């Protein structure tokens, strides 16, 4: 997965409702451009953590 995937996840949860432990929950109300800037400001480790959480969340749903 890439930053483009993260941009999409930051913009909207694919399941229409974020779980309380979603790392992107606090930024879901931001504009898309602000979400992109947030994702761009993350380091690679933080990005991997978000992607792993999304994968786990997807399997559970």
pLDDT of residue 60: 87
pLDDT of residue 5: 94
* Cα–Cα distance for residue pair 59/44, rounded to 1 Å: 23
Give phi and psi for 15, each to the nearest 5: -105, 10
pLDDT of residue 2: 83
pLDDT (tens place) for every residue of the chain, 61 residues total:
589 999 999 999 999 889 999 999 999 899 999 999 999 999 999 999 999 999 999 998 8
**Helix locations, the chain, DSSP H:** 3-11, 32-40, 44-60
Q: How far apart are the first and last CA of the chain?
A: 19
pLDDT of residue 39: 96
Q: Which residues contact 18 (CB under 8 A, 6 or more apart)?
A: 24, 25, 28
Give phi and psi for 17, each to the nearest 5: -155, 120
Residue boundaries of the structural domains of the chain: 3-60
């Amino acid at each position: 997965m890439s930053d483009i995937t993260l941009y999409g996840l930051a913009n909207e949860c694919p399941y229409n409702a974020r779980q309380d432990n979603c790392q992107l929950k606090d930024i879901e109300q931001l504009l898309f451009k602000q979400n992109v800037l947030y994702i761009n400001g993350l380091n690679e480790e933080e990005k991997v953590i978000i992607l792993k959480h999304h994968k786990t969340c997807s399997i559970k749903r």
